[in-house]
Structure 1
Amino acid sequence: MNPSSFCNRSSNPKPQSGFTLIEIMVVVAIVAILSMIAYPSYTDYQRRGQAQEAPTNLADYRTQMEQYYQDNRTYAAGGNCGVALPTPASARFTYTCATANSGQTYTATATGATGSLTTGLAYTIDQRNNQGTTCTSCAWNFSGAQTTWVLRKP
């Protein structure tokens, strides 16, 4: 065997394939940064979708209350509101209704359930279609009562 051909073989080893540790760490860092940005946005997107339930149910409830008032000239039935409260398909909100002024006024409220994405949100509506939203330690962090239904982070 020719010694020069032996040297040529050893100087041309097969190229190595695969990734270096640095390359893998860079990819992991990029994925981590993207997930830190994407997860809060996705959670807020879900919260906006779930928050739509309350205003929709309250608007329907108000329509039923107005129909009840047309038939009975009062919003009250005994000590309760004249129409049964909405029965949500999910456990995202709980609904209450209170009458006042001998059944001539009412306020219906949808309160975000504890442990859900809507925790701390409360939506209200009354016989004059006055709408309101409050945030008590909710994820959207606005203060005071709003005079409209807040459906996204202000």
Structure 2
Amino acid sequence: MKRPNQYGFSLIEMMIVVAIIGLLASIAVPGYQDYVKSGNAAEAPANLANCRVQAEQFFQDNFTYVGFVCVPSDAKSFDYSIDNQSATTYTLRATGRASNNMGAFEFTVNQDNAKTSKFDGTVGSSCWLTSSSGSC
């Protein structure tokens, strides 16, 4: 008795395909997550720069920084606060939200435009980092 020709994939062939897809996913997913973090991190420097301009305008009008508040309307991945606020000083701070996987990010700027940042654990002491490689 002769068997008819069988068509399709064997179990071994299917296992090889699953292994290749798993390998590609293990490389692509972390790269994509880093890309998303970098995109979300761009929010903080943009909003801090805008808040700094608003703080200087407030100072020009009132001759003090006391009473200035900064609440960006498009804040999605960061919480914003003002530290060391006095008549002549302030520090604007953007702290990443852990719920958005941005907990390792923090950016600051003060009245003298001195900037610091923590970009996914990498610390920048004189600028706002734009990548985890430490470049400004």
TM range (shorter): 0.7 to 0.9
Aligned to 1:110: 94
The answer on 1:23 being equivalent to 2:13 is yes
What is the CA deviation profile of residues 30-87 of structure 1, one whole-angstrom value per residue up to 9, with x for unaligned ones? 000000001101111111111111111100000001111112222113xxxx2x2223
Stretches of structure 2 that go unaligned for 5 or more consecutive residues are none
Distance 1:51 1:73, change over 3 A: same
Paired position in structure 2 for 1:7: none
Partner of 2:125: 146
Between the aligned residues of both structures, percent identity stands at 36
Confirm or deny that 1:92 pairs with 2:77. yes
Displacement after TM superposition at 1:125 (Å): 0.5
Q: Work out which of the two has the higher radius of gyration on C-alpha atoms and give 1 or 2.
A: 1
User: Counterparts of 1:71-90 in structure 2 under 5 Å?
Assistant: 71-77=61-67, 82=68, 84-90=69-75
CA RMSD, aligned part only? 1.9
* Aligned AA (1:92): S
TM-score normalised according to structure 1 size: 0.77
Report the CA distance shift for 1:39/1:151 in structure 2 as closer, same or farther (over 3 A). same
How far apart are the structure 1 equivalents of 2:125 and 2:101?
19
Provide the rounded CA distance (Å) in 1 between the counterparts of 2:29 and 2:76.
23
Distance 1:118 1:62 in 2: 22
The number of aligned residues is 133
- How far apart are 1:21 and its partner, in Å? 1.1
Candidates 128, 136, 139, aligned match of 2:112: 128
**Aligned pairs (5 A) from 1:31-50:** 31-50=21-40
